[in-house]
Amino acid sequence: MRVVMVGAECAPFAKVGGLGDFIQGLARALAATGVEVQVLLPYYRGLLPEPFVSRLEPLDVAVSIPLDGAALECTCWRLRAEGLDCVLIDPAGDWFRRPHVYGEPDDGLRFALFARAADALLRRPGWRPDIIHCHDWQSALLPALQWAVTDAGEPPVRVCLTLHNLAHQGLIEPAVLARLGVDVGTLLGPGPLDDPAAPGRANLLRGAIHCADFVNTVSPRYAWEVLHTGQGMGLQGVLQAHVDKFGGILNGIDDALWDPRTDPLIPVHYGPDSLSLKARNGEALRRRLGLRARAAPILAVVSRLDAQKGVELILGGIDSALALGCQVVLLGAAPDAAVAARFAAKREALADCPDAHLELAFDEGLAHLIYAGADMILVPSRYEPCGLTQLIAMRYGTVPLVRRVGGLADTVVDANHSDRPVGERNGYLFEAQTTEAVHAVLGRAAWLWRHHPDHFDRLRDNGMRADHGWRRPAARYLDLYRGLLGA
């Protein structure tokens, strides 16, 4: 079976958040089962880490797409590294020669262009896959293109769409699609890209939900929430209409890459059988970030800093943790200037505090050290399609404190309030989006850390021994592909 993943991120080549981990992890896990998997990404010139640039091989395949009535040539580069087989699409011009993966004023056109080029490539002789698996809005034009045009004499290619975040849907002007030579008349007015909430505009994600053969979210609970709890962000109607091809598959993490027994980015290796060594990573973390040496639990936050992640609750949680005698490390990047300013002000206010460090950046190496060195991680999301930081933290014996929402609710079992066996409890949950609720959950965790460290270690141990790897979810995706192929 030949599967092609199409998306905007794939770690370690391009990563902004969990999408990068997801495509990397699923592609590697499927490849391990013998599936032929290829990942299609834009070639982000200037962002691809240097060691990989020298490994690019130009591909002898001509892809050209219409742009403003002329032909835009796209070079395709093959990158085989880290157990992944990628094709990087490189349209002539500066479309992907930007300082960031996202956040450019012409993102709509840039990613529509990427999806259009991916579609053109996958129609070339020898390139047609069995399954096209798209991710989020950046590749969401592709299912609509496949739906609209079937290659003569060929059955349609089966298309899956995974929804990692409904907040970003790719709302663009039809004129943008027309610039790319897309048959706007078939897709809009009326057509699958119509959005009743945004008349006159094209909604790429909505169109992909309509046109794909299967659609899933990255946790079962989020699939239910988007249908029934007002979290559908305007897409609940189209998802209801297609509920027979909609479900939720819980994400995994790549447990070969995220493994405290072998992780090259942490100073002291440890595992469930040598948990006491974890404390030495805590010491290294304190030294690196200038925290004083103290017998206190370290609370971590590793997150994109935006409204989804619960900005108020993160800021309130920092104050609560310090008031409860914890130490705090935060690693986060805020794409929005107003949010960035709030965290910069907090960092300023805590500049002389020996128990807190806020690092406002994206730093993969520091993230690993934090997972290894911290005792608890706070994830107070307003909504969370799956969430990977709680899974990674558990793998490193760092206890998650999370809001009972989406994939967080599917993966964290409360230490005190649960009907599940003690051997499955791995963290703490809270419901209300209030600083009081965060304070209470921090109080429960800090109390256990201080007064019953053996019980706290039990929570760490349960999290470390649980199987959150990709094997199980990859088997679910494989079943799904087989079902679509009638195999």
Q: Which residues contact 54 (CB under 8 A, 6 or more apart)?
A: none
CB-CB contact of 225 with 383 (8 Å): yes
The span from the CA of 208 to the CA of 162, in Å, is 10
- Residue 24 or 146 having the CB closest to ligand ADP: 24
CB of 371 to ligand ADP, least distance (A): 7
What per-residue string of b and e applies to 408-442 under the rule 16 or more CB within 10 Å gives b?
bbbbbbbbeeeeeeeeebbbbbbeeeebebbbebb
- The smaller minimum CB distance to ligand ADP, of residues 5 and 144, is found at 5
Task: Tell me the HSE value of 417 on the side-chain side, using a 13 A CA sphere.
Answer: 9
Site string for ligand ADP, 299-338 (x = CB under 6 A): ---xxx--------------------------xxx-----
In the complex, least distance from residue 330 CB atom to ligand ADP, rounded to whole angstroms? 9
- Can you read off the two tokens belonging to residue 345? 């002000």
Stretch that binds ligand ADP, among 15-23, 51-59, 187-195, 408-416 (CB under 6 A): 15-23
CA–CA separation, 172 and 201 (whole Å) = 6
Our finding on whether 17 is near ligand ADP (CB under 6 A) is yes
CA 204 to chain centre: 19
**Cβ contacts of residue 103 below 8 Å, gap of 6+?**
335
Contacts of 29 (CB under 8 A, 6+ apart): 252, 254, 469, 470, 471, 473, 474
The residue from 23, 26, 35, 388 that contacts ligand ADP (CB under 6 A) is 388
CA gap 164, 18 in Å, rounded:
8
> Site for ligand ADP (CB under 6 A): how many residues?
19
> Could you say whether residue 389 binds ligand ADP (CB under 6 A)?
yes
Tell me the closest approach of the beta carbon of residue 15 to ligand ADP, in angstroms. Answer: 7
In the bound state with ligand ADP, the residue whose beta carbon lies nearer, of 9 and 213, is: 9
Is 80 strand, coil or helix?
strand
- Interacting residue with ligand ADP among 3, 5, 7, 18 (CB under 6 A): 18
What is the rounded CA–CA span in Å between residue 129 and residue 320?
52
Interface with ligand ADP by CB under 6 A: which range of 31-39, 130-138, 296-304, 342-350? 296-304
Q: What are the strands, taking DSSP E only, across 23-83?
A: 36-42, 57-58, 63-67, 70-81
Q: 196: helix, coil or strand?
A: coil
CB of 285 to ligand ADP, least distance (A): 14
CB of 470 vs ligand ADP, minimal distance in Å: 14
CA distance 318 to 327: 9
- Residue number, 304 or 382, with CB nearest to ligand ADP: 304
- Is 176 or 360 the residue whose CB approaches ligand ADP more closely? 360
Q: Which is nearer to ligand ADP, 19 or 315 (CB)?
A: 19
Range 76-105, binding ligand ADP (CB under 6 A): none
Spell out the residues 6+ positions from residue 413 whose beta carbon is closer than 8 angstroms to its own.
Answer: 420, 424, 425, 426, 427
User: x-or-dash pattern for ligand ADP, window 209-228, by CB under 6 A?
Assistant: --------------------
Q: Which CB, 393 or 415, lies closer to ligand ADP? A: 393
Q: Closest CB to ligand ADP belongs to which residue? A: 18
- Where in 338-367 is the site for ligand ADP (CB under 6 A)? 362-364, 367
Examine residue 382 and tell whether it contacts ligand ADP (CB under 6 A).
Answer: no
Residue 184: CB minimum distance to ligand ADP, A: 32
436 binds ligand ADP (CB under 6 A): no
Q: What are phi and psi of 396, to 5 degrees?
A: -100, 15
**Under a CB-based contact definition with an 8 Å cutoff, are residues 114 and 137 in contact?**
no
| Least spacing, CB of residue 332 vs ligand ADP, in Å | 5
Assess contact for 135 and 23: CB atoms under 8 A. yes
Residue nearer to ligand ADP on the CB measure, 19 or 209: 19
Binding flag, residue 162, ligand ADP (CB under 6 A): no
Site of interaction with ligand ADP (CB under 6 A): 17-19, 21, 302-304, 331-333, 362-364, 367, 386-389, 392
